[in-house]
Structure 1
């Protein structure tokens, strides 16, 4: 079944915290606390902790990029130097390690940064559509709680928003 969205805007931090705690303790059919997104102009660590841990995978992209960059960088450099095996080297090694470490380090940083950018685009779902409900006041002075749930559950969620004096509720759906 398609899910509907609703956004409750709050002026008061304590009211928003009470809404999240009430949603967390409620047993509304068709609603999960994992589908709640907090939108605010500043970070509210207490609210983020009450919503639970949300995994972030950008660091994994950085690690993969750095490891691949170092490995492939050294492989490219060493293979280009080893192609000159028939040339007279004058007692020097075919693949000199100290100068290669500098270039390997550069590949390490370059691929790590590029994969971090790719990971950010994937994690942020860019390019993509903006949130179905957006209000500019969330960027200014209000705390927004965006809930994605089934249409029957949206009515109960909106009732909780109104109970805790939401300044505005956007996207109210009738089942």
Structure 2
């Protein structure tokens, strides 16, 4: 085959690829976790969790510990130059203990929210599947990818907000 003919065929095939892709359907991405957690029902449940006395107590404890740590840091910065080696060691130990306490309380709060998030994901999975089927059909989506599996996608490819809106509409209709 001549070089000209090969170049022409290659050019034609490159030009027809977008048309072929369009014929196969639109490409979209979705962040299902975000779509579910942004629904009105999820936000109400999250606010309910945050209003519980145990959660509020842990949150207040976290804020208290953060303030204490900040004060300890200021004190150390001010007095470090005049502290003896023993005093510096004791201050480092207090700081390590404060950080450990902070991490413990923060983990408790995060676990509470993660447990709620997991329960919401499990509860809403059937609704999400129905919404996705409808969107795939109505939007002509030929390829739907989970957002965390994609390196880059412009915002125009995302249907996450549409999924959230449809889930809110479905919940309102119930």
TM-score of the two chains, using structure 2 as the length reference? 0.30
Q: Point out the structure with the larger helix share.
A: 2
Higher strand share: 1
